Amino acid sequence: MRNVIAALAAINVLLLLANLFINMGDKPIETTVEGIPTLTILPETPSIKYSAQRSTGTSSCFTIGPYYSEKAAQLLAGNIRTSGLAVTIRSLNSKETLNYLVYIDNINSHEDAKKITHDLKKQAVGEYSIVESGPYKNTITFGFFKNLEKAKRKTEYIRYLGYDAKYNGQKVLRKVYWVDYDEPIGTSTPALSWSKTIDPNSNVQVIPRSCDQRAWYSAERAFANSSYEVLETPL
């Protein structure tokens, strides 16, 4: 009995499919409906961002930086580009002061250096060391200071005690990044606010610049101890 029911069910399915194909025949499927316009697919065109060089109106042009992280500069550039503005990222090799060394040099002998440190110890000057060898032999150092004002205060106190103390910045060559963008005058793109969200610890500023990029870049190349490279050009 069960086999008979299954066979009948199969026959019904076959009959249903046969009727469906017979009714369809060779009739083509309609691709349009009367009264509704035909959909036309247009080729994709690249998005053109606003640029002072292409605009016929008045523009304001800015640069924001410096960034020590290329990733942070790229993320900010992405935000600005999404808002419809052309962006250029530039890198500069720039000398940066890492810290300041306070010291007394031009001491004739190791014994003279020890006498000076013995005297300074009484004045609660703090930590110090004597350079034992090399071109700076017998120089007394008082440590490195990240803050310039602290280095100056330490230097002035030692001078007050009668010794010719000095401070000198220790420099290193680092790559920094600047993000250039143009906007229609009066737009006020919130680039600084975006920057703080991307990298809260970055100490950057927005600087107005010439909208003639060639003149701006040529002027920057004239700075000493710096080299210039465009990482990304406007779309």
State pLDDT tens for residues 166-191.
999 988 888 999 999 999 988 889 99
Arithmetic mean of pLDDT over the chain: 81
The per-residue b/e assignment along 14-35, b for 16 or more CB within 10 angstroms, e otherwise, is eeeeeeeeeeeeeeeeeeeeee
**In the predicted structure, residue 223 carries a pLDDT above the cut 50:** no
Q: What is the DSSP letter of 47?
A: P
| pLDDT at residue 97, as a whole number | 87
Residue 125 and residue 162 in contact, taking contact as beta carbons nearer than 8 Å: no
**Number of C-alpha atoms within 13 angstroms, CB side, residue 193?**
3
- In percent, the amount of the chain with pLDDT more than 70 equals 70
Identity of the residue numbered 84: G
Q: Is the pLDDT of residue 202 over 50?
A: yes
pLDDT at residue number 159: 95
Q: How many whole angstroms separate alpha carbon 192 and alpha carbon 211?
A: 19
Backbone angles phi, psi at 84, to 5 degrees: 100, 15
pLDDT of residue 103: 97
Question: In the numeric block, which tokens belong to residue 62?
Answer: 């800015």
**Residue 218, pLDDT above cutoff 60:** no
Tell me what pLDDT residue 215 has.
Answer: 47
| Region of poorest pLDDT, from 37-51, 59-73, 84-98 | 37-51
Confidence of residue 9 (pLDDT cuts 50, 70, 90): low
Residue 35: pLDDT band (50, 70, 90) is low
Predicted pLDDT at 137: 94
Over residues 144-163, the pLDDT tens digits come to 999 999 999 999 999 999 99
- The token duo for 138 is 């017998």
Does the pLDDT at position 225 exceed 70? no
| Residue 150, pLDDT score | 95
Residue 234 has pLDDT above 60, yes or no: no
